[in-house]
Amino acid sequence: MGRLDGKVALITGAAGGIGRVAAELFASEGAGVALADIDDEAGATAEKEIREHGGEAFYVHADVSVDHDAAAMVEATVRRFGALDVLFNNAGVMTEADASVLDTPEDVFERTIDVNLKGVFLGCKHGIRAMLASGGGSIVNTASFVALMGAATPQIAYTASKGGVLALTREIAVEFARRGIRANSLCPGPIETPLMAELLADEERRNRRLVHIPMGRFGTAEEIARAALFLASDESSFMTGAALVVDGGITAAYVTPA
């Protein structure tokens, strides 16, 4: 018996990285999964492969920073599966131009906030309505360990956006706790994903982050997906408004030796 048997999940940023792995995992645990992304080719491939392995999934194009797209992805999910029980707001961006507050271009800051924070807001705005109609559910919002502490390498827009996700999630959790909806944040440390590989191609930049991780390695998408599964499932039924930290010990450390 799967941990998400009979449930319907909508995952944003599901064409690759953590979202793709989570989609595969949720489907293997019995959920019907809607995969939302802007990468249509990768999204269609993810849908095809999940279905080939016996899972129930479909892909829907959605830019989470656009209200119409956020509404449409929820509507498509309910139209396909008849309900919405799990919303994993995972889509996010980070760019090399995101640096010190003194240097980050305004357009980079705005785009980062639009996707990472506004995207979560819009997902919740439309997703909660569907969840209430379905009798409740679980929201998992991807924040970051940098929402809890300053980043070793300046990335002002990303850090600000993820701090906002924590605050937004707490407020939603309090507002809807007695209406059957839980909302929790997931705070990963640095994870080995295609996005991180591109950003940390420079060995010096990579080592500057690695030295702060007590476990001495980056996390994997599978490790974060399993944490998301816990928050999505009934195993976390008494958790709401919480921030689940999966960071290899970064936020627990004062000084980490090289």
Of 138, 235, 149, nearest to 187 by C-alpha is 149
Q: Which amino acid is at 23?
A: A
Record the tokens describing residue 127, joined without a space: 């997703």
- Domains in the chain, number: 1
Longest dimension (CA), the chain: 53
Record the tokens describing residue 165, joined without a space: 């996700």
**Is 182 domain-assigned?**
yes
Report the pLDDT averaged over residues 178-190. Answer: 97
The pLDDT score that the predictor gives to residue 151 is: 83
The pLDDT score that the predictor gives to residue 201 is: 64
**Is 249 domain-assigned?**
no
**Is 178 domain-assigned?**
yes
Record the tokens describing residue 148, joined without a space: 């809890």
Is the pLDDT reported for residue 257 higher than 60? no
Active-site residues: which are they? 158
Range of the domain at 61: 8-244
Record the tokens describing residue 215, joined without a space: 């476990």
Q: Is the dihedral of CA 128, 129, 132, 137 positive or negative?
A: negative
- Determine contact, residues 77/130, Cβ cutoff 8 Å: yes
State pLDDT tens for residues 133-175: 999 999 999 999 999 998 878 999 999 999 999 999 999 999 9
Record the tokens describing residue 138, joined without a space: 């679980």
What percent of the chain is predicted at pLDDT more than 90? Answer: 84
CATH of the domain at 111: 3.40.50.720
Residue with tokens 């995969």: 35
**Is 255 domain-assigned?**
no
Q: What's the helix, strand, coil split of the chain in %, to 5? A: 50, 15, 35
Report the pLDDT averaged over residues 209-234. Answer: 93
Kindly list the distances between the CA atom of residue 26 and the CA atoms of 113, 131, 201, 228, in Å, as whole numbers in the listed order.
27, 18, 30, 9
Mapped onto helix, strand or coil, the DSSP state of residue 86 is strand
Residue 253 banded pLDDT, cuts 50, 70, 90:
confident
Rounded distance, CA 194 to CA 129, Å? 33
**Confidence (pTM):** 0.94
Record the tokens describing residue 193, joined without a space: 């994903």
Strand ranges, E, within 129-188: 137-142, 181-188
Q: What is the mean pLDDT of the chain?
A: 94
Rounded distance, CA 205 to CA 228, Å? 28
Q: Which amino acid is at 77?
A: T
Record the tokens describing residue 172, joined without a space: 């939603």
Question: Both ends of the chain: CA-CA distance in Å?
Answer: 44
The pLDDT score that the predictor gives to residue 196 is: 66
